Amino acid sequence: MRIKTKAWLLAMLFLISLAPASAMTFGEARVNTTFVVSGLHQGAVVQFVLNGGVPVFAAVENGTARYLPLLEGNLDIVVVLNDMVIERNSTTVLPVLTITPTPTATTTTGGGGGGSTGGGGVVTSEPYANIAKSESHDKSLIANTSVTYTFNVPELGVYEIAVTGKESENDIALRVEVLKGTSKLVKVQATGIVYKNVNVWTGTKRMKEALIRFRVENSWLGSNSLAGSDIKMVRWDGSKWDQIETTVLRSDSTYTYYEAKTFAFSSFAITGLKDASTASLTPGGTQAGTPISGTPGATPGHVATPGTAPPTTLFIVGVLILIGIIAVVVIKRKEIFKKKE
């Protein structure tokens, strides 16, 4: 009986090791504030255990599960799929920040001229006539802790931004704008096939980093003959477009979801860069596949083919062979003359 039990446990551990790992992500958890876990497998069930108490189960809907912590303390999160545990994690439930009430999101539509002001005192520099829609939220930032802003306007493309601040700050606004065309704040249009032009503005200058999560319609990818991995987010640094680190998170029947990492907010573009010949940008902003002038050994107008010696080398080898032939002929002639004598 013990042997069968051990064999069964080993088989279960083997199956669990083969189970696909989820990409579970979550922000802060606070008392009496809905805690959202995202990046989950559809059909999974999430078990929340607060301070070792009674487990609370939540089903996954559209890749997310929600839980309302009622006490401070340690929250254990267990993701179960097909009766198998595929991921475990934990976080700390923090007290409610009573000094910072949560304001209602501000959503605006484009039209008219001049500038516009978002929630929480964030001022946009984009001409109002070029803004299709926008959404603003206020949250408190905690030093060296990721705080997630959620955006509900589908036209934005951006659905979450996780901000990590260098210091703790209260009432920090974050505004996302989707534009009707290229931003009026940039000098040139972004490279590639542009899906959306987006501005992101914030009310703090003490941001450490941010993760911008956005989605692209699969039908748009198909109509433009683009693979999911062809999509990149680029940021205008004041003089040029820089490609920022962009990762494919997941996809469903309608969208492919991405995450891009940035250290500053400004004008962004979600664009399809099909290959290196489409002027793709490296994180440093240089064009991939473009020869750099002044490279040692590079000769203008000549491209060396792998496995083929340069013309100078071939010439030297040819001369040496010719000298060898002449030497052999001379030696043979001397031997013939000696025999005749």
Q: What is the per-residue pLDDT across 54-64, written as a single tens digit (0 to 9) for each? A: 888 888 888 88
- How confident is the model at residue 182, as a pLDDT? 94
- How confident is the model at residue 292, as a pLDDT? 30
- How confident is the model at residue 44, as a pLDDT? 86
* pLDDT tops 60 at residue 334: yes
- How confident is the model at residue 57, as a pLDDT? 86
Each as own residue / partner, the long-range contacts of residues 73-78 (CB below 8 Å, 24 or more positions apart, any chain) are 74/50, 75/29, 75/35, 75/48, 75/49, 75/50, 76/48, 76/49, 76/50, 76/52, 77/24, 77/26, 77/37, 77/46, 77/47, 77/48, 78/46, 78/47, 78/49
Residues contacting residue 286 through CB under 8 Å, at least 6 positions apart: none
* pLDDT tops 50 at residue 103: no
Between 1 and 289, name the one with better pLDDT: 1
* Residues 10-20, mean pLDDT to the nearest whole number: 47
* Residues 266-277, mean pLDDT to the nearest whole number: 82
For residue 266, give both structure tokens. 């400004």
Which position has the token pair 């309302």?
68
Residues contacting residue 175 through CB under 8 Å, at least 6 positions apart: 106, 118, 119, 122, 124, 134, 135, 136, 199, 200, 201, 202
Q: Which of 270, 255, 258, 196 is nearest to 62 (CA)?
A: 255
b vs e for 310-329, b when ≥16 Cβ sit within 10 Å of the residue's Cβ?
eeeeeeeeeeeeeeeeeeee
Q: How far apart, in whole angstroms, are the C-alpha atoms of residue 87 and residue 71?
A: 24
* pLDDT tops 70 at residue 229: yes
> Which domains, ranges and CATH numbers included, belong to the chain?
20-94 (2.60.40.10), 106-278 (2.60.220)
pLDDT 10s digits, 283-309: 433 333 333 333 333 333 333 333 444
- How confident is the model at residue 6, as a pLDDT? 53
Report if pTM > 0.75. no
Q: How far apart, in whole angstroms, are the C-alpha atoms of residue 129 and residue 115?
A: 8
